[in-house]
Amino acid sequence: MKRIIGRNAEMKQLTEYAASGKAEFVVIFGRRRVGKTFLVKEFFRGNFTFYLSGAENASKKEQLFNFTTALNKHSKAEYPPVDSWQNAFVQLESYLQSVKTNGRKVVFIDELPWLDNAKSGFLLAFEYFWNAYASSESGILLIVCGSATSWLMNKIIRNRGGLHNRVTRQIFLEPFTLNETEQFLKSKKIAMTRFQIAECYMIMGGIPYYLEQLERSLGLDQNIDKLFFKKNAVLRNEYSKLYASLFKKPENYIKIIEVLAQKRKGLTREEIVKFSRISDGGGLTDMLEELELCGFISINSNFTNSKKNQLHQLVDFYSLFYLNFVKDRKGNDASYWSSLIDNPVHRSWTGYSFELLCQTHISQIKKALSIGGVISYLSGWRSKESADGAQIDLLIDRNDNIINICEMKYSTKEFTITKAIDANLRNKRGAFIEETKTRKTTHITMITTYGVKHNEYWNNIQSEVKLDDLF
């Protein structure tokens, strides 16, 4: 068995579900390439009573053929071919009843959404199988997963018909953290400094499949050129597949992603409607919720708790990198990324991406500030009154009457707070206190790659967090 990197919380959940002593219906969801199938297969070491994977764009006839093949492989019997999903699940029930074991009967159906062709009758047959048989069998552990999160949410988890409230457990599989990424790279014997790992993460996110493509014989810049900028590069062609795999009609989802990519600080709902030209209604609400659920966007509360002013922000590192550097590039400059280092465009991207890196590692920041056990609320804030449009991207509003005003800065060395930067920080804090009328103590917290240089302005900050702390 391959070593599972990280995923400690998910493995604990699976262990609990396997030992619950009752029928379990577990849905595992998450974006494409995040490692859902790998986790389940490695956790159970491939010991499934029955395993089936849906095939992308396959016909009903082809899916049923694959079902019969899988059933005969597991049962070591000769079940005849079937022409309907109703008959397929009758056969599966018959087989499961014949299995004699004191342990769990683990049924794993991977890429479940792909089995549901138009007018195939799959969902009704699956629903009947669970309700009429599996739900009353204490030995059954049914696990389903798939990348098409919108299908899983609408057809299974939020089902208003026969599967309403039938799912007993849910696991959302998130990308690796920085720490898990470091562990993964070490397991592949890929040597990188933490600064390089951070930049790698800012390009790919913590997506195991993307990280798997790195070659240890190449430097990070060379790897990025190979994976994104050479002809037929693996991750150059991933973008179109990514959203199509998750959403049945991906066009409007992509529109939202692409307008958010142009406005890095985020957009209100009204601004998304304006720039994307998508009508404002329930359909947009669903799309925004699904994009947030999949981890592509964050919906950030304003400190004033005004829903109208909530900012929607693109937080998927891969999409952001692709749209900034790959999408509209013509030709195949095989050394494009290597030549861009220390270019103003590169510096602008690293600054913003580092902010996202910090926002995706809030628990590590809180631990570094020794407030891991303090209840706190995260938000942003945008001034309505200050002439320079003061904005704070991350506020940690704590129950101990302190608010951390976080300033995130990416630098290749110790960060220097200049007279101008100091004035800007004091202006932000002053505008925030004046406009919000907060009575809490405000602390300026610097989050940087290599720390803050101890000059005459250093004492004006109350706390700092370094890149190492995010690991």
What local confidence, expressed as pLDDT, does residue 137 receive?
96
* pLDDT tens string 31-54: 889 999 999 999 999 999 999 999
Quickly count: other Cβ atoms within 10 Å of residue 35's Cβ. Answer: 23
How many Å apart are CA 112 and CA 17, to the nearest integer? Answer: 20
CATH topology for the 8-172 domain: Rossmann fold (3.40.50)
Least confident of 25-29, 284-288, 318-322, 339-343: 339-343
367-373 mean pLDDT:
94
Query: Which pLDDT band holds residue 1 (cuts at 50, 70, 90)?
Result: very low
pLDDT over 70 at 2, yes or no: no
What local confidence, expressed as pLDDT, does residue 331 receive?
67
* 90, two tokens: 């009758």
Buried b / exposed e over 275-314, threshold 16 CB at 10 Å, is: bbebeeeeebeebbebbebbbbbbebbbbeeeeebbbbbb
What local confidence, expressed as pLDDT, does residue 303 receive?
80
CATH topology for the 368-470 domain: Trna Endonuclease; Chain: A, domain 1 (3.40.1350)
Q: What percent of the chain has pLDDT over 70?
A: 98
pLDDT over 70 at 30, yes or no: yes
Query: Which pLDDT band holds residue 141 (cuts at 50, 70, 90)?
Result: very high
pLDDT over 90 at 275, yes or no: yes
CB 18 within 8 A of CB 104: yes
* Residues with Cβ within 8 Å of residue 342, at least 6 apart in sequence: none
In Å, how far are 99, 174, 203, 260 from 324, measured between CA atoms?
54, 23, 11, 12
What local confidence, expressed as pLDDT, does residue 198 receive?
98
How many Å apart are CA 33 and CA 91, to the nearest integer? Answer: 32
Q: What are the domain boundaries of the chain?
A: 8-172, 368-470
* Residues with Cβ within 8 Å of residue 338, at least 6 apart in sequence: 221, 222, 224, 225
What local confidence, expressed as pLDDT, does residue 305 receive?
65
* pLDDT tens string 316-358: 999 999 999 999 887 667 789 988 887 888 888 999 999 999 9
* 317, two tokens: 């590192």
pLDDT over 90 at 88, yes or no: yes
CB 243 within 8 A of CB 31: no
Classify residue 262 by burial, with Cβ atoms within 10 Å: 0-12, 13-18, 19+: exposed
Quickly count: other Cβ atoms within 10 Å of residue 470's Cβ. Answer: 25
Planar angle of CA 451, 454, 456, nearest 5 degrees: 135
How many Å apart are CA 292 and CA 286, to the nearest integer? Answer: 10
* pLDDT tens string 375-433: 999 988 888 876 677 889 899 999 999 999 999 999 999 999 999 999 999 999 999 99
Least confident of 50-54, 262-266, 449-453: 262-266
pLDDT over 70 at 370, yes or no: yes
CB 120 within 8 A of CB 60: yes
* Residues with Cβ within 8 Å of residue 272, at least 6 apart in sequence: 256, 259, 260, 278, 284, 288, 312
What does R_g of the chain's alpha carbons equal in angstroms?
A: 25
pLDDT over 60 at 190, yes or no: yes
Angle between helices 269-276 and 251-262 (to 10 degrees): 110
* pLDDT tens string 201-232: 999 999 999 999 999 999 999 999 999 998 88
Least confident of 38-52, 192-206, 280-294, 428-442: 280-294
Secondary structure string (H, E, C) spanning the chain: CCCCCCCHHHHHHHHHHHCCCCCEEEEEECCCCCCHHHHHHHHCCCCCCEEEECCCCCCHHHHHHHHHHHHHHHHCCCCCCCCCHHHHHHHHHHHHHHCCCCCCEEEEEECHHHHCCCCCCHHHHHHHHHHHCHHHCCCEEEEEEECCHHHHHHHHHCCCCCCCCCCCEEEECCCCCHHHHHHHHHHCCCCCCHHHHHHHHHHHCCCHHHHHCCCCCCCHHHHHHHHHHCCCCCCCCHHHHHHHHHCCCCHHHHHHHHHHHHCCCCECHHHHHHHHCCCCCHHHHHHHHHHHHCCCEEEECECCCCHHHCEEEECCHHHHHHHHHHCCCCCCCCCHHHHHCCCHHHHHHHHHHHHHHHHCCHHHHHHHCCCCCCCEEEEEEECCCCCCCCEEEEEEEECCCEEEEEEEECCCCCECCCHHHHHHHHHHHHHHHHHHCCCCEEEEEEEECCCECCCCCHHHCCEEEEHHHHC
How many Å apart are CA 115 and CA 144, to the nearest integer? Answer: 12
Cα maximum dimension of the chain: 81
Strand partners of residue 110: 53
Least confident of 134-138, 175-179, 230-234: 230-234
With tokens 């029928």, the residue in question is 23
- The torsion angles phi and psi of 243, rounded to 5 degrees, stand at -75, -30
